[in-house]
């Protein structure tokens, strides 16, 4: 980092850490609130605050290890932890009283001997992943502790990839194509892409390549009736609409109305006029759509382990109890929502987890429960070590 340190910026970082770990706020919300609190900060200062908070959250356990201290959310302790972070990054601390005697009291080499510490993961989560993945779990944990790339999805309703790349070149925005992901572009330099006029015109959206793979995996076609039953704010619904050439009908459903409101706004910007939103108010909402869909996408609630790079605070907020509870919810959704599929239709079950208990084992249990009514077609894992977020997806055909 070449940033010159200012006390007010370090104070902002400390405030953000207290909000995340002390008040249990999600990191993105805590940072958003913090940046709004001082509109006088310039873009460089804002980037420093946000990136430093994320980096410290990402390396939270390692930093306390290097400081040789237990976690302490007092302001002075967090100032000193920032000092440890600054030294860990290879920088020199200014001669301020608050940084007096701050040093790396344990070595990075010692931390490397204990992967859970070096990659800053809870012991229980590393053990859970080891049970699933064996020795490969260390590779995945290391990948999950890296900063996520910014991946764009070309909105082919409005522009082809080639057309958009020409427009990006005119604006001196550097992007690269990603092999095997036909609608994806990698943003080479991080920037506030939301402010770009090309985004405002709906020519592209931000969506990780792994997430994009799920819509493509669903094999939708123009003219189909598709239900995205756990749509959230609609990233996959928007991609489905583009893959269907904006022809047919997509019913995007969720239990949270505010997410569907956001989806409507995004669909309007994208020109995806085949999307209809529908709030899930009770089991009757599902029952009314029984036997109607050519495709059903169930991107079910999950642990989110596969997307920890984007939400590094999640690894400190997850618990074995939550993961067990979410598996019950996944099973219920799969059993209940699958009734919306027509005979001969195909259901895609998806998670942003890399745990088999949320993935293949859920699909196996569903098929065992339903006899010959459904048949397994294929499944696919995308692991974080492959360069993008971790996802699981499986296709299931309804036979009767």
Catalytic residues: 352
- The whole-angstrom separation of Cα 32 and Cα 39 is 12
- The whole-angstrom separation of Cα 87 and Cα 325 is 41
Please give the span between the terminal C-alpha atoms of the chain, in angstroms, as a whole number. Answer: 61
**179-217 in b/e burial notation, b at 16+ Cβ within 10 A?**
eebebbbbbeeeeeeeebebbeebbbbebbbbbbbbbbb
Contact between residue 396 and residue 380 where contact means Cβ atoms under 8 Å apart: no
Residues 6+ apart with CB under 8 A from 371: none
Largest CA distance in the chain: 74
- The whole-angstrom separation of Cα 391 and Cα 400 is 29
């Amino acid at each position: 980092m070449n940033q010159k340190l200012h006390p007010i910026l370090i104070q902002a970082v400390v405030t953000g850490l207290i909000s995340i770990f002390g008040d249990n706020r999600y990191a993105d919300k805590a940072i958003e609130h913090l940046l709004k609190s001082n509109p006088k900060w310039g873009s460089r200062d804002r980037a420093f605050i946000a990136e430093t908070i994320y980096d410290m959250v990402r390396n939270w356990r390692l930093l306390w290890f290097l400081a040789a201290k237990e976690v302490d959310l007092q302001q002075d302790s967090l100032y000193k932890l920032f000092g440890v972070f600054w030294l860990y990054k290879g920088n020199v601390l200014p001669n301020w009283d608050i940084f007096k005697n701050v040093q790396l009291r344990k070595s990075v080499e010692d931390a490397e001997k204990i992967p859970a510490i070096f990659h800053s993961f809870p012991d229980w989560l590393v053990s859970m992943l080891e049970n699933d993945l064996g020795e490969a779990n260390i590779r995945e944990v290391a990948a999950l502790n890296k900063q996520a790339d910014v991946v764009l999805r070309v909105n082919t309703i409005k522009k082809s990839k080639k057309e958009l790349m020409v427009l990006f070149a005119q604006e001196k925005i550097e992007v690269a194509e990603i092999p095997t992901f036909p609608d994806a572009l990698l943003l080479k330099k991080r920037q506030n892409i939301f402010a770009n006029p090309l985004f405002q015109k709906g020519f592209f959206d931000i969506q990780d390549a792994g997430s994009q793979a799920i819509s493509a995996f669903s094999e939708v076609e123009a003219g189909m009736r598709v239900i995205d039953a756990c749509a959230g704010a609609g990233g996959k619904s928007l991609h489905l609409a583009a893959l269907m050439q904006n022809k047919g009908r997509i019913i995007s459903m969720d239990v949270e109305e505010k997410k569907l409101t956001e989806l409507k706004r995004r669909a309007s910007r994208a020109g995806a006029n085949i999307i209809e939103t529908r709030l899930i108010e009770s089991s009757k909402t599902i029952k009314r759509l029984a036997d109607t869909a050519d495709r059903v996408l169930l991107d079910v609630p999950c642990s989110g382990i596969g997307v920890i790079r984007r939400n590094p605070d999640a690894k400190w907020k997850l618990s074995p109890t939550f993961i067990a509870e979410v598996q019950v919810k996944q099973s219920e959704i799969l059993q209940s929502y699958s009734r919306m599929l027509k005979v001969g239709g195909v259901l895609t079950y998806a998670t942003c987890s890399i745990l088999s208990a949320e993935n293949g084992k859920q699909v196996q249990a569903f098929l065992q429960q339903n006899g010959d009514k459904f048949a397994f077609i294929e499944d696919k894992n995308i692991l974080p070590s492959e360069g993008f977020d971790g996802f699981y997806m499986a296709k299931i055909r309804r036979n009767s």
